[in-house]
Amino acid sequence: MTQYVREKVAYMERPVTAWALAGIIAMLVFSYAYFVNAAIVNIVATKDMQVEISDLTSEVGNLETEYLAAKSALSIDDAHVLGFAQSVSEPVYVAKTPSSALSFNR
């Protein structure tokens, strides 16, 4: 009887083991395909971002050039005409007086 049970259990375990192994292999193949696809998508996204970064960098450079040209062309008379600057007869300086002397606590 024991021999018969062992044979039946061994016979029943073979397909389960084979299907489990096939399932694990299929899972590994699908995960490999997923990770390769994710790597390719990330590479393409990186290249797109690099193109966008270079475009934005050149745009910032152009804007800085325009800013420096406008800044060098601006004079105090132009600022008066536009209402941005007012003539000051005597400058006023503001300083905060310390409320107490500096001390080190030990």
Mapping DSSP to helix (H, G, I), strand (E, B) and coil, where does residue 28 land?
helix
Q: Which residues of the chain have pLDDT under 70?
A: 1, 9-14, 85, 98-106
Residue 99 lies in a domain: no
Tell me, yes or no, whether 96 lies in a domain: no
CB 90 within 8 A of CB 81: no
Please give the pLDDT value at position 14: 67
Residue 44's pLDDT is what? 97
Q: Are 58 and 64 in contact (CB under 8 A)?
A: no
In a domain, 90, yes or no: no
Q: Is 95 inside a domain boundary?
A: no
Q: Two tokens at 5?
A: 């049970």
pLDDT, position 77:
82
Q: Give me the pLDDT at residue 18, please.
A: 79
Query: For residue 14, is it within any domain?
Result: yes
Q: Which pLDDT does position 20 carry in this prediction?
A: 87
Query: Can you give the pLDDT at residue 64?
Result: 96
**Number of structural domains in the chain:** 1
SS3 98: coil
Closest to 17 in 3D by CA, of 25, 6, 5, 28: 25
Q: What is the pLDDT at residue 43?
A: 97
Q: What is the pLDDT of residue 31?
A: 98
In a domain, 53, yes or no: yes
Structural domain includes residue 45: yes
Q: Which domain holds residue 51?
A: 2-82
- Within-domain flag for 87: no
**C-alpha–C-alpha distance, residues 68 and 57, integer Å:** 16
| Predicted pLDDT at 62 | 96
